[in-house]
Structure 1
């Protein structure tokens, strides 16, 4: 049988982990990362460059030319 716990609070995790160990359960931690870290870095750098005035403005009507 498999049991999945979701949205466990950080303060409750050690208690659940020690309980599972004492009962002889196998513990498998899986942390989902929804985005590629390199992609996130590129987006944050782009936002920073726009704040610094390094971006290019294009009028909406010129976008499809």
Structure 2
């Protein structure tokens, strides 16, 4: 049975990284490695701020019919 889940693991040491690679290869699982592709800290801060605003209900709802006007198109 196939699963839709994705697991993101952040090893802290080279030893942990090597152990994870060996474990995943032993299980014959598909995996990919993103090497050093971290998000810009300013971008992350903006996303976090938006999440907090949404959690606090500080959002704007726009009807589909008003979307073009809202976007200034």
TM-score by length of 1: 0.48
| More RCO (CA 8 Å, sep 6+) | 1
TM-score by length of 2: 0.44
